[in-house]
């Protein structure tokens, strides 16, 4: 049973969290704080002078350059330091006493903190620039692998977006692809374990296998088998590399993935250790029920059975206006400053009225707000909307197949 005290505690916690994430994370707060400190010291000294006494508040100026260095540029630290030193000097011209000796010590400390703050701000700015460049390189390398998703196909509207992690980690291996055939559309979304060039090579191998197999293989499970064998080849190549850890790394190389085939009003899904696709309908948001298989590259004993339909899940609840959302774990495993996961289902319900072409952008923006603007893992999103034209096309294909079977 909820008590008023418990409700007040939760409200207080939410208020403090909102203040911390929404206020203290803003640049202008850290730029304003040191100036407020300098102003406060000036007011104390002037007030003391008007009453015929010396306040000796100069020691309070010492933290000002350090506060400016937290988020400010070197020029901001320099401006605060100059103002603090000027104020400290202006209030220290007095006969030599124990108090003035203390003021001199405070001035020396202020000079030292100012110099350290300038160096810290310069190093931090250079580091931030490096992180921005790393993120740009990561996105460029990843997008070089990812083909543009068609905005429209027969009866479908599609949109996709990839965002690299905002950190100094190596490039990740998130991937997605859409292959359009005359009678159906096939999609894949996946996440390579690990970072760096091995992840990029594996992602490229999976995408190449999918693009080829999705065009010609009749069964979606066979397409998944081709992708899995591509990962196995990458693992064998990695095992033959130099270094004592090459074999161990090869054994841990795998790709979680979800493959989807859309044929009119019918959805076929093969899930390989990946977050299941989400079906967005007028009634809400729910994950598709799937029969999960091990990730690509870890199904060695099952490879011979890829040509049958084990692991394939078929859904027929796909209706015009419904949308399918595929995503990597950089979305649902994103955490805020208190360690709470991103509320994906709740957010998607709030974004129900957003057009499909804007849905991936809006979703990633919501993730950025939840995490305070920092993605700790790469994230990829693909959204697909089914239209009435797609339902009509699917019925036509079904009638053609039925007629062909009757003719035989």
| Lowest model confidence (mean pLDDT) among 99-113, 138-152, 172-186 | 99-113
* pLDDT for residue 401: 35
pLDDT digits (tens, 9 = 90+) for 224-246: 999 999 998 888 887 765 555 55
Q: What is the DSSP string of 37-74?
A: HHHHHHHHHHHHHHTT-----GGGGTHHHHHHHHH--H
Alpha helices in 299-379 (DSSP H): 329-332, 344-350, 359-370
383 SS3 class: strand
Q: Which H helix or E strand runs over 20?
A: none
* pLDDT for residue 309: 61
Most confident among 65-79, 175-189, 291-305, 392-406 (mean pLDDT): 175-189
Nearest partner of 229 among 312, 178, 294, 303, judged by Cα: 303
Q: Average pLDDT, whole number, for the chain?
A: 79
| Lowest model confidence (mean pLDDT) among 140-149, 320-329, 385-394 | 385-394
Higher pLDDT, 103 or 225: 225
Q: Output helix, strand, coil percentages for the chain, rounded to the nearest 5.
A: 55, 15, 30
Do residues 240 and 155 lie in contact, with contact meaning Cβ atoms separated by under 8 Å?
A: no
* pLDDT for residue 70: 85
* pLDDT for residue 45: 76
Q: Which two tokens stand for residue 17?
A: 């969290």
Q: Which H helix or E strand runs over 12?
A: helix 4-19
Distances (CA, A) of 354 to 160, 308, 385: 14, 39, 12
Residue 130, pLDDT > 90, answer no
* pLDDT for residue 110: 86
Separation CA 222–CA 259 (nearest Å): 11
Reported as a pLDDT band with limits 50, 70 and 90, residue 258 is: very high
Q: Which H helix or E strand runs over 284?
A: strand 284-287
Q: Which two tokens stand for residue 167?
A: 């950190």
Reported as a pLDDT band with limits 50, 70 and 90, residue 347 is: very high
Most confident among 3-7, 47-51, 194-198, 264-268 (mean pLDDT): 264-268
Q: Which two tokens stand for residue 39?
A: 């102003």
Q: Which two tokens stand for residue 324?
A: 């399918």
Q: What is the mean pLDDT of residues 251-271?
A: 90
Do residues 153 and 183 lie in contact, with contact meaning Cβ atoms separated by under 8 Å?
A: no
Domains of the chain: residue spans and CATH: 25-134 (no CATH), 148-407 (3.60.40.10)
pTM of the model: 0.66
Nearest partner of 177 among 221, 122, 223, judged by Cα: 223
Nearest partner of 227 among 142, 219, 330, 158, judged by Cα: 219
Query: Residue 81's CB: how many other CB atoms inside 10 A?
Result: 24
Residue 169, pLDDT > 90, answer no
Q: What is the DSSP string of 194-226?
A: S-HHHHHHHHHHHHHHHHHHHHH-SSHHHHHHH
Reported as a pLDDT band with limits 50, 70 and 90, residue 404 is: very low
| Lowest model confidence (mean pLDDT) among 66-80, 163-177, 356-370 | 163-177
Residue 144, pLDDT > 60, answer yes
* pLDDT for residue 365: 92
* pLDDT for residue 275: 93
The alpha carbon of residue 17 and the mean position of all alpha carbons in its chain are separated, in whole angstroms, by 21
Do residues 30 and 72 lie in contact, with contact meaning Cβ atoms separated by under 8 Å?
A: yes
Q: Which two tokens stand for residue 140?
A: 């460029």
Reported as a pLDDT band with limits 50, 70 and 90, residue 25 is: low
């Amino acid at each position: 049973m909820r008590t008023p005290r418990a409700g007040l505690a939760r409200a207080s916690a939410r208020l403090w969290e909102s203040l911390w994430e929404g206020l203290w994370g803003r640049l202008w707060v850290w730029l304003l704080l040191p100036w407020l400190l300098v102003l406060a010291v000036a007011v104390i000294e002037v007030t003391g002078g008007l009453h015929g006494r010396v306040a000796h508040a100069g020691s309070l100026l010492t933290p000002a350059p350090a506060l400016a260095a937290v988020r400010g540029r070197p020029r901001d630290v320099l401006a605060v330091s100059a103002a603090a030193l000027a104020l400290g000097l202006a209030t220290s011209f007095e006969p030599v006493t124990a108090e003035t000796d203390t003021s001199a010590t405070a001035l020396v400390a202020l000079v030292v903190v100012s110099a350290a703050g300038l160096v810290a701000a310069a190093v931090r700015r250079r580091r931030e620039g490096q992180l921005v460049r790393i993120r740009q390189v990561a996105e460029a390398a990843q997008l070089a692998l990812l083909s543009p998703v068609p905005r429209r196909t027969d009866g479908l509207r599609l949109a996709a977006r990839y965002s690299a992690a905002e950190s100094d980690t190596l490039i990740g291996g998130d991937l997605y692809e859409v292959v359009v055939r005359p009678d159906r559309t096939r999609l894949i979304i996946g996440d390579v374990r690990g970072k760096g060039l091995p992840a990029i090579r594996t992602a490229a191998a999976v995408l190449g296998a999918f693009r080829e197999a999705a065009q010609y293989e009749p069964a979606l499970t066979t397409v998944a088998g081709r992708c899995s064998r591509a990962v196995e080849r990458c693992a064998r190549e990695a095992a033959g590399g130099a270094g004592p850890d090459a074999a161990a790394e090869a054994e841990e190389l795998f790709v979680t993935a979800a493959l989807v085939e859309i044929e009119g009003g019918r959805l076929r899904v093969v899930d390989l250790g990946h977050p299941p696709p989400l079906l967005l309908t007028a009634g809400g948001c729910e994950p598709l029920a799937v029969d999960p298989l091990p990730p690509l590259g870890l199904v060695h004993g099952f490879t011979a059975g890829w040509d049958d339909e084990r692991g394939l899940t078929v859904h027929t609840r796909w209706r015009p206006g419904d949308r399918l959302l595929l995503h990597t774990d950089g979305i649902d495993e994103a955490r805020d400053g208190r360690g709470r996961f991103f509320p994906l289902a709740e957010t998607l319900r709030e974004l129900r009225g957003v057009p499909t072409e804007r849905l991936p952008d809006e979703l990633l923006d919501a993730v950025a707000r939840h995490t305070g603007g920092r993605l700790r893992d790469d994230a990829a999103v693909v959204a697909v909307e089914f239209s009435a034209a797609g339902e009509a096309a699917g019925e036509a294909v079904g009638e053609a197949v039925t007629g062909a079977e009757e003719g035989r």
